[in-house]
């Protein structure tokens, strides 16, 4: 007898679990915070925890917004989806960690946010751009140059992994759980970005020329992090660290964040 | 299509409860390693899979639509080839 489900690969892939039939594809999603007490431990410095969460959240949010601009602009359809997936991973991290920041220290919530707006959205949409704590590398605009994007993403991911490792060791169980999930995601981001770095750096004369130029563009924006793995990736790509130069005085963050916030500020009740 | 276009790969995914890999679609990639990454991003975004195979489309040998009759018609009337005349024991899964 022919099983009708075999007609649709996704139907046979998506094993429906009770109550999750509404998902068209895939079921059994995990909640990274399942079973974790979200009470802020009394012996923690709540303000310092909120600071750490905001820094992690802002890096992820700003980078996600920057990556989102590649939708419909990546050189290949396959990479467009890959970049969007990375952006969505980062956005998910930002949501959880910004929520945690406000749980740890409610005073970080911007007073201008309407009361019905959840904490994560209040922090994302109602702080002014200069209040964000992201590294400059995350806001850097590759201006449509895929090589610059790859260099940016490689460096950002290595930097983020060191920050997530710090967060994983946090005495706050919620931040630690978020970091464990983020670390797995970041490991894939690294595989994607370094894969391209090596292909382009070690590819044709033209791709190599473009990667050398891309590195010199991102280099002034490099945050402080353990560069061991990043440098190893550069060397596998036959690339060298360019001479250090001061970062140009360009505010790439303000227009990026203003665009991100424009809808939420114009129509705070908007849903979709 | 330009000469430099990446080759096509076919993607097979095994679902969480699936017993075998199922063809889910195709994609372009420079090589098999990249095809695997692209497949992960294109075809397992919604938590579908636990295992992925990729193979170059050009490596697949397919039956021809012209041979459809001689290939498949002979089995169309042989209902006795289905194991429906047996009682399947309860402890035999996946029949």
Work out the pLDDT band at A269, boundaries 50, 70, 90.
Answer: confident
Residue A10 has pLDDT above 70, yes or no: no
Query: What is the mean pLDDT of the segment spanning B17-43?
Result: 91
Query: What is the mean pLDDT of the segment spanning B27-39?
Result: 94
* CATH code for the domain in which residue A211 is found: 1.20.1260.10
Are A157 and A190 in contact, with CB atoms under 8 Å apart? yes
Burial class (CB in 10 A: 0-12, 13-18, 19+), A76: middle
- Cβ separation of B47 and A28 shorter than 8 Å? yes
Structurally, how many domains does chain A consist of? 1
Residue A19 in domain:
no
> Residue A221 and residue A258: Cα distance in Å, rounded?
21
Pairing of the two strands B49-56 and B22-28:
unpaired
Nearest to B37 among A10, A23, A195 (CB): A195
> Residue B33 and residue A245: Cα distance in Å, rounded?
36
Domain assignment of residue B70, given as a range: 8-85
What local confidence, expressed as pLDDT, does residue B44 receive? 86
Residue A7 has pLDDT above 50, yes or no: no
**Cβ of residue B82 closer than 8 Å to a chain A Cβ:** yes
* CATH code for the domain in which residue B13 is found: 3.10.20.520
**Is 0.90 topped by the overall pTM?**
no
Residue B52 in domain:
yes
What local confidence, expressed as pLDDT, does residue B82 receive? 73
Residue bearing tokens 């899979």: B49
Domain assignment of residue A194, given as a range: 46-241+252-258
Residue B91 in domain:
no
Residue B32 in domain:
yes
| Residue A126 backbone dihedrals phi, psi, to 5 degrees | -120, 10
- Cβ separation of A9 and B41 shorter than 8 Å? no
Residue B1 in domain:
no
Residue B17 in domain:
yes
Query: What is the mean pLDDT of the segment spanning A89-115?
Result: 95
**A contact set with B (CB within 8 A):** 1, 9-10, 12-15, 23-29, 76-79, 81-82, 85, 188, 191-192, 195, 199
> Residue A218 and residue A140: Cα distance in Å, rounded?
8
């Amino acid at each position: 007898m022919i099983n009708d489900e075999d007609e649709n690969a996704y139907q046979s892939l998506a094993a429906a679990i009770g109550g999750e039939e509404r998902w068209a594809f895939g079921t059994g999603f995990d909640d990274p915070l399942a079973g974790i007490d979200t009470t802020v431990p009394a012996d923690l410095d709540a303000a310092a925890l909120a600071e750490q969460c905001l820094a992690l959240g802002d890096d992820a949010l700003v980078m996600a917004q920057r990556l989102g601009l590649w939708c419909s602009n990546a050189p290949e359809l396959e990479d467009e989806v890959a970049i969007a997936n990375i952006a969505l991973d980062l956005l998910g991290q930002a949501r959880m960690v910004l929520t945690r920041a406000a749980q740890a220290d409610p005073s970080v919530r911007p007073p201008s946010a309407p009361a019905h707006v959840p904490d994560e959205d209040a922090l994302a949409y109602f702080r002014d751009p200069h209040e964000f704590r992201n590294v400059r590398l995350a806001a850097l605009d590759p201006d449509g140059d895929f090589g610059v994007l790859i260099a940016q993403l490689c460096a950002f991911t290595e930097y983020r992994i060191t920050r997530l490792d710090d967060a994983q060791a946090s005495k706050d169980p919620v931040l630690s759980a978020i970091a464990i999930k983020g670390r797995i995601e970041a490991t894939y981001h690294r595989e994607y970005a370094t894969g391209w770095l090596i292909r382009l750096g070690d590819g044709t004369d033209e791709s190599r020329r473009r990667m050398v130029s891309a590195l010199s563009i991102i280099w002034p924006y490099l945050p402080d992090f353990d560069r061991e793995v990043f440098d190893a990736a550069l060397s596998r790509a036959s690339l060298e660290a360019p001479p250090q130069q001061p970062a140009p005085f360009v505010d790439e963050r303000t227009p990026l964040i203003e665009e991100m916030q424009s809808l939420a500020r114009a129509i705070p009740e908007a849903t979709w | 299509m330009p000469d430099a276009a990446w080759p096509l790969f076919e993607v097979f995914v095994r679902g969480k409860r699936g017993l075998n890999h199922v063809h889910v679609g195709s994609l372009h990639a420079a090589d098999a390693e990249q095809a695997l990454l692209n497949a992960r991003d294109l075809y397992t975004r919604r938590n579908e899979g636990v295992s992925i195979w990729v193979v170059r489309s050009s490596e697949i040998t397919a039956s021809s639509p012209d041979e459809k009759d001689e290939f498949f018609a002979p089995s169309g009337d042989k209902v006795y080839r289905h194991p429906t005349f047996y009682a399947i024991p309860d402890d035999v899964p996946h029949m």
